[in-house]
Amino acid sequence: MPGPLTFDALKAAAIDGSIDTVLVCFVDMQGRLMGKRFHVQNFVEHAWEETHCCNYLLATDLEMGTPDGYRATSWAAGYGDYVMKPDLSTLRPVPWLEGTAMVLCDILDHHSHQPVPHSPRQVLKAQVARLKARGLTPMMATELEFFLFEKSFDEIRKGGFRDLAPISGYNEDYHILQTTKEEAVMRPLRNHLVAAGIPVENTKGEAETGQEELNIRYADALACADNHTIAKHATKEIAWAQGHAASFLPKWHHDKVGSASHVHMSLWQGSTPAFFDADAPHAMSALMRQFCAGLIAYAPDYTFFLAPYVNSYKRFVKGTFAPTKTAWSVDNRTAGFRLCGEGTKGVRMECRIGGSDINPYLAQAAFLAAGHKGIEDALELAPATTGDLYEDGSAGEIPATLRSATETLRSSRMLREAMGDDVIDHYTRCAEVEQEEFDRVVTDWEIARGFERA
C-alpha cells in the first residue's frame, strides 16, 4: 500500500509540477478539517515550519459562530492567533483532488509555542502519553457509517433539507446488488484513500436505505484518529464530486436507523497484545479486565465525547442496534460494549455508543482516560451480561439527552484529573452552546402539533 509522502518527495513533485497545492489542516472541536491551501513552493520554502490561524477556530459551533463563555478565547481577549505546526509524518497525496497534497498540524500557543491543551489532537496525545508511561500502546479501529443521498449538498440545502431521498430504496445491509449501484462513489473512495496511505479494509451496505459503512485497518490511536478524520472528509468530497451528498448526521429521520461510529480498542506492550491471556476466561487478561471496567464505570462521564449534539441522542432507540445500556457482553450487539475476538490474540473491546458525528480524537482520548483509571484503581469487571440488553433493567443507562451528558461531563472527577479542568470546562461550554442554540429554536414538529390544537 502507498505510504505517506516524504518531504523530499513533495519537493520533487513541486519541481516537476505534479503537485501544486498543499492543504495545511488541523482538526477543530467538531472533528472537521480546517486550514489553508498553500502553493506548494511556498510550503516547501517556508510554511512547512509553521503557519497561523485565528484562535476562535477551537471555540466555534457547527455554524462557525463565535459563542461567548470560553476562557481560552473571546472578543475581550481580541481573538489572537494560534500556530499551526505541520506534522510532516502525516504528509500525503490527496488523489481525489488534482495536484494536491495534505498535511495535518498540531496547534501551539502563539507566544509560548506549547501545545494548546484543548486542541483535539493534543487531547488524544496526552492520554496516549499516560499509557506510554506504563509501557502500553493503545491500538484503535473505527467504523464509519453514513448515508448517501440522491441529490447534492447544494440541492438539498436549497430545498430546505426536505424530501430527502437516500441513494437506495431498501435496506442494503451486506447487499451486493444494491451496493454495486453505488460504486460510482464507493469505489473511488476506497481506492483514493488507499492511495493516500489510509489502510481501507472494505466498504459494505449498512442496515438502512442508502446507508454505507467504511472500515479502516486498526492502527495506533493517533494514526487511527487521523485516518478517520481524513476518510470522513474524503467521503463528503468524493460524493460531492459525483453529485451526491454524504451525511454523517447520526439520525436524519425518526423512522430510519441511525449511523454509528463503533470503536475497537486494545493495548499492546511492544509487539505483544496486552489484552490477551490464553489461560483466562474469554482470553481476557487481568489488564484488559481492569481497562474495560474503567470504560464501563465511567461511560456516563464521557458520553458527550461520543454524542456531542442534540441530534446524537435521537439515535439511542431500542431495537435499532444503537445501545441504551453501558454493560458489556460477548459478541452481543444490544450491549454498549461488545467483546470481539473472544479466545484469540485479537481479543478486543468494541464501544458501540458513539455516533457517526464523533470527533475521533476526543472519543478515543476519553476511552483511554477511563481505561487508564480502571488500571490505576485495579477495578473489577462485572460478569458479562447476556440476552436482550434493551430489556435489562439492572444495566447502567447511557445518558439519554445532551443536557444530561453535559452534567456528567461537568462533574466528572475522573476526566478532570486525566485531562485537566481547562479542557473539561472548554468542552462543557461547547456542550452548553449546542443546547442553548437548540433551546431557542421553534421546530416544525412543535408548530404542526400545536398550531391549531394547542
Write out pLDDT tens, residues 191-225.
999 999 999 999 999 989 999 999 999 999 999 99
Of the pLDDT bands very low, low, confident and very high (cuts 50, 70, 90), residue 317 is confident
- Mean pLDDT of the 226-244 span: 98
d(CA 260, CA 40): 37
* pLDDT for residue 24: 98
Strands (E), 42-136: 51-54, 81-93, 100-109
Please give the mean pLDDT across all residues of the chain.
94
pLDDT greater than 70 at residue 379: yes
Q: What are phi and psi of 78, to 5 degrees?
A: 90, 5
- Domain map (residue ranges) of the chain: 7-116, 129-444
Residue 249: CB partners within 8 Å, gap ≥ 6?
147, 259, 311, 356, 357
Q: Which residue stretches of 311-400 are H helix?
A: 360-376
* pLDDT for residue 75: 86
pLDDT greater than 70 at residue 336: yes
- Mean pLDDT of the 98-122 span: 97
Query: DSSP string covering 151-208, please?
Result: S-HHHHHHTTT-S--BSSSSB-TT-HHHHHTTHHHHHHHHHHHHHTT--EEEEEE-SS
What are the CA-CA distances from residue 156 to residues 13, 241, 245 (Å)? Answer: 38, 15, 8
Grid cell, residue 43, equals 510550503
- Mean pLDDT of the 46-70 span: 93
pLDDT greater than 60 at residue 2: no
Instruction: Look at the pTM and tell me if it is higher than 0.75.
Output: yes
Max Cα–Cα distance, the chain, nearest Å? 70
d(CA 38, CA 209): 39
pLDDT greater than 80 at residue 142: yes
Ranges 7-16, 80-89, 107-116, 168-177: which has the least confidence: 168-177
Q: What are phi and psi of 238, to 5 degrees?
A: -70, -40
pLDDT greater than 60 at residue 1: no
Residue 215: CB partners within 8 Å, gap ≥ 6?
141, 143, 144, 200, 201, 202, 203, 204
Of the pLDDT bands very low, low, confident and very high (cuts 50, 70, 90), residue 274 is very high
Grid cell, residue 315, equals 439515535
d(CA 59, CA 34): 13
- Grid cell 483532488 in the structure block, residue: 97
The correct CATH number of 129-444 out of 3.30.590.10, 3.20.20.30, 3.40.50.12780, 3.40.50.2300 is 3.30.590.10
d(CA 82, CA 410): 26
* pLDDT for residue 3: 61
Residue 96: CB partners within 8 Å, gap ≥ 6?
188, 192, 234, 237, 238, 241
Pairing mode of beta strands 348-351, 263-269: antiparallel
Q: What is the dihedral angle through the alpha carbons of 343, 349, 350, 354, rounded to the nearest 10 degrees? A: 170
Grid cell, residue 166, equals 437516500
What is the CATH number that goes with domain 7-116? Answer: 3.10.20.70
- As a whole-number percent, the residues of the chain with pLDDT over 70 amount to 99
Q: Is 10 helix (H, G, I), strand (E, B) or coil?
A: helix
Contact between 117 and 422 (Cβ < 8 Å): yes
Ranges 113-117, 170-174, 412-416: which has the least confidence: 170-174
